[in-house]
Amino acid sequence: MADKLAFELVSPDRLLLSVEADAVAMPGMEGDFGVLPGHAPVISALRAGVIEVEGGGDGPDRVFIAGGFAEVAADRLTVLAEDAIPVADMDRADLEQRVQDAREDLEDAEDDEQRRLAEGKLALLQEMLAAVR
């Protein structure tokens, strides 16, 4: 069994993180789960939430993702995220304003489709806000 896990976090526009980690915790669709070196192979869908990297060195140790997929092998973990933002780069005041705007959009929704989109946006923003608290 290896001592470290090769971890890569990829968003649609860039490779956000590539480190050797001791452990990585992720927000799975069925609940949060962790990956250590020697983990059994698995592919899992991820929901919006925070990925926490332990022992990864200089890179961000907490990254918010807006969902995606994780591919786990015994010695590596690759996360393909819909969107990824280091938690340290998130601005709480900006997020609070965006949550308020999303609530107003939800109130102003004129049909089911607009309501569904506004609810999804609001839920994502609330998850982001929870990550910075």
- pLDDT tens by residue, the chain, 133 residues: 468 999 999 999 899 999 999 999 999 999 999 999 999 999 999 999 999 999 866 655 899 999 999 999 989 999 999 999 999 999 999 999 999 999 999 998 899 999 999 999 999 999 999 998 8
Amino acid letter for position 88? A
Q: What is the sign of the dihedral through the CA atoms of 28, 31, 36 and 42? A: negative
Phi then psi for 93, rounded to 5 degrees? -65, -40
> For residues 36 and 5, is the Cβ–Cβ distance under 8 A?
yes
- For tokens 């109130």, the residue is 107
* Cα–Cα distance measured from residue 80 to residue 64, given in angstroms and rounded to the nearest whole number: 12
pTM for the full predicted model: 0.86
Closest to 35 measured CA to CA, from 56, 13, 11 = 56
Q: What stretches of the chain show up as alpha helix (H) in DSSP?
A: 92-108, 112-132
Task: Give 36-68 as a 3 state SS string.
Answer: CCCCCCEEEEEEEEEEEEECCCCCCCEEEEEEE
The pLDDT assigned to 112 comes to: 92
* Cα–Cα distance measured from residue 133 to residue 128, given in angstroms and rounded to the nearest whole number: 9
Tokens of 5: 């896990």
Question: Under CATH, to which class is 5-87 assigned?
Answer: mainly beta
